Amino acid sequence: MSAGWFRRRFLPGGPLPAPRPPRPRSSPVPYRRPRFLRGSGSGPGTADAPRRPDVRPVRSPARGRALPWNAGYAEIINAEKSEFNEDQAACGQLCIRRCEFGAEEDQEWLTSCPEEFLTGHYWALFDGHGGPAAAILAANTLHSCLRRQLEAVVEGMVATQPPMHLSGHSICPSDPQFVEEKGIRAEDLVIGALESAFQECDEVIGRELEASGQVGGCTALVAVSLQGKLYVANAGDSRAILVRKDEVRPLSSEFTPETERQRIQQLAFVYPELLAGEFTRLEFPRRLKGDDLGQKVLFRDHHMRGWSYKCVEKSDLKYPLIHGQGRQARLLGTLAVSRGLGDHQLRVLDTNIQLKPFLLSVPQVTVLDVDQLELQEEDVVVMATDGLWDVLSNEQVARLVRSFLPGNREDPHRFSELAQMLIHSTQGKDDGLTEEGQVSYDDISVFVIPLHSQGQRSSGH
């Protein structure tokens, strides 16, 4: 594999409230210097994703400093929460090799043609929990999984319509009609590649964590600009929104124990043994007590979007599968998200009850047809981890974007500064921006992606 397919730079966190140096962990996390791959001139093989990816804690640079990325079209600013900052990020150019087919069917079907490329851009945010290990692995791995998945279908992506057979050989004359009737378009192959890449990355993380005796998981929010479209893939509670002059549009939705209640309850209904008799599948407004026994109380089961009343039995007094409200809602009393990567070994404290069966690694993918938008220079996508959205609404972020960008047209770092300002505004540094002066103590990472330059850059293959 040649270098240059992916130019990436690790983006260390900038601690905004109070930097704390990383301290040694009981299961040590090996540290390697991030490798900066700027050009496409390095020799073949050097840019391959390492078979054993780097796993490193995030360093703490000077207090309050923004760390603008040289490309200028995407900026990430990292606050910090924990001993090891659990947010990680990756971004860069995504170069997908075009493949050709050998003359003979028996031959290796994939022949590398490094001079042909489909070029895109990639941004990713990973919000770790239980330590930074999974987030770091994801930041080091997911893009290479995605590249591999995209290269496996790139022939279909660049065709007018994805062919029934990837080889282009037609077996049934009406194959194009079948594909047409199913409405299968090139973008469906990118969606499929993103879905498969998340799953592949999750498997890699599972193997790596097990091999290194580490634990942890992370959410993943990825944006890919490709062939005039922006794909946003989300597994977790980060969020991406489109902000234009007259429009604010969510590009992702959150996956938490609350939003995925029915799926999670359904699984516990089908496999009650996953709860080991310790939890109740049913949802009640609060945890029940002995005094509730025999009373008719509000409840919901897996098949219900509405509520009903049931007579409380002894088994209803168990701890609920999903408990708490809003930001406090937890799956099995442990986890605040229901999709993401990692967590293969995660168990309920002092039990053998696993969380992984209830988690999905597959993302929800939304597609923004950038080429169809009449782009203005200040149209941006804001991607951020949950810490930002806990404190600022979509509309508040949009207001900040709209008030900041027009006055700073000449500033080459304005997107970086906007990202920094968004984080400041969640930390009580800009009064009156958040409702009731709310402050976030969570890790926060923000990308501000100007679509105007994307529209110009994404020239397709």
The residue ranges that bind its own copies (CB under 8 A) are 105, 109, 149, 152-153, 156, 162, 164-167, 169, 171-172, 174-175, 178-179, 181-182, 184, 187-196, 199, 270, 285-286, 289, 291-292, 294-298, 300, 303-309, 325-326, 360, 362, 364-365
Q: Among residues 362 and 373, whose Cβ is nearest to its own copies?
A: 362
Encoded amino acid at 449, one letter: I
Residue 339: CB minimum distance to its own copies, A: 11
Residue 28: CB minimum distance to its own copies, A: 35
Of the chain, the end-to-end C-alpha distance in Å amounts to 19
The answer to whether residues 442 and 390 touch, using CB atoms and an 8 Å cutoff, is yes
Classify residue 416 by burial, with Cβ atoms within 10 Å: 0-12, 13-18, 19+.
buried
Q: Among residues 181 and 436, whose Cβ is nearest to its own copies?
A: 181
Half-sphere exposure of 277 (CA within 13 A, CB side): 0
Distance CA 162, CA 156 (A): 4
Q: Among residues 289 and 409, whose Cβ is nearest to its own copies?
A: 289
Structure tokens at 297: 């109380």
Q: How far is CA 36 from CA 39, 40, 152, in A?
A: 9, 12, 26
Distance CA 459, CA 461 (A): 7
Q: Among residues 319 and 404, whose Cβ is nearest to its own copies?
A: 319
Q: Among residues 149 and 280, whose Cβ is nearest to its own copies?
A: 149
**Greatest CA separation for the chain:** 76
Q: How far is CA 187 from CA 103, 191, 251, 368, in A?
A: 28, 6, 16, 10
Residue 317: CB minimum distance to its own copies, A: 13
Residue 156: CB minimum distance to its own copies, A: 7
Q: Among residues 164 and 419, whose Cβ is nearest to its own copies?
A: 164
Classify residue 59 by burial, with Cβ atoms within 10 Å: 0-12, 13-18, 19+.
middle
Q: Among residues 297 and 375, whose Cβ is nearest to its own copies?
A: 297
Q: Among residues 65 and 327, whose Cβ is nearest to its own copies?
A: 327
Distance CA 280, CA 282 (A): 6
Residue 284: CB minimum distance to its own copies, A: 8
Q: Among residues 63 and 327, whose Cβ is nearest to its own copies?
A: 327
Residue 297: CB minimum distance to its own copies, A: 6
The answer to whether residues 338 and 256 touch, using CB atoms and an 8 Å cutoff, is yes
Residue 113: CB minimum distance to its own copies, A: 18
Distance CA 311, CA 239 (A): 39
The SS3 of residue 266 is helix
Residue 346: CB minimum distance to its own copies, A: 20
Distance CA 311, CA 249 (A): 43
Q: Which residues pair with 390 in a beta bridge?
A: none
Residue 281: CB minimum distance to its own copies, A: 16
